[in-house]
Structure 1
């Protein structure tokens, strides 16, 4: 059964992941990545361009498919070894979340719509995936 996931990652870090064909979530934690299986889909939401920004970005910035069943460590610095998953990113355009908020099921409180993203990574319904991907994908995937 295919499952659908949402990750909250800055646009800058998302771009690195797209270039490298990987996703890294929740400051490199392994457990969230272990929930995904090959063939699952993931959408990335970027509230900011980079982590230190105070300017809002508020766009879905990437969409992809999990391409294997391995979670692997990656030594970024001597003191930081986060975990990653291989992702086949799909050709897409960025889409603002604002117009989609009323129709997204994972956003229960439309007044405080940013709340779910505080968790960094969570499962979404097929309905929400289809709604967002229909606006993002440039080709059928």
Structure 2
């Protein structure tokens, strides 16, 4: 089976927390995007913002990891929030600005507004 590469969009503060926990979580905890991933696929986190509730921009790739297994599980955060997650083995890497890379990234169709990525992109 071929290896796929996925981009998950999340604020940088959420990404750093996910890295510490060794997990991926998408679309406010929805399972559907996680079900598309397979063991040994790679994920790249892209952060358009520094913090989810603040306007400060980031525009960086903020984490890179490998999907550990084929298990999706729910994690109880609060009585009304039980997001789906996957286990990820994150690689040690530095944050990287997307801005100088936009013209070379084939999956970005609109180069002018290229820093607006979908929540989950599949890299071909």
Q: What TM-score do the two structures reach when normalised by structure 2?
A: 0.96
Q: Within 1, Cα distance between the matches of 2:112 and 2:102?
A: 10
Q: Within 2, Cα distance between the matches of 1:12 and 1:94?
A: 12
Check the 8 A contact 2:98/2:115 in 1, yes or no: no
Structure 2 unaligned blocks of 5 or more: none
The 5 A counterparts of 1:28-47 are 28-47=29-48
Determine the structure 2 residue equivalent to 1:109.
Answer: 110
Task: Give a deviation string over 1:80-136, Cα, whole Å, max 9, x none.
Answer: 011000000000000000000000011011012134x2x3112012xxxxxxxxxxx
Q: What TM-score do the two structures reach when normalised by structure 1?
A: 0.85
Determine the structure 2 residue equivalent to 1:138.
Answer: none
Task: Give a deviation string over 1:17-54, Cα, whole Å, max 9, x none.
Answer: 11110010111000000000000001000011110111
Q: Report whether the alignment pairs 1:11 with 2:12.
A: yes
Aligned length: 123
Superposition CA RMSD, Å: 0.8
Determine the structure 2 residue equivalent to 1:73.
Answer: 74
Moved runs in structure 1, 4+ residues, more than 2 A?
none
Structure 1 unaligned blocks of 5 or more: 126-141
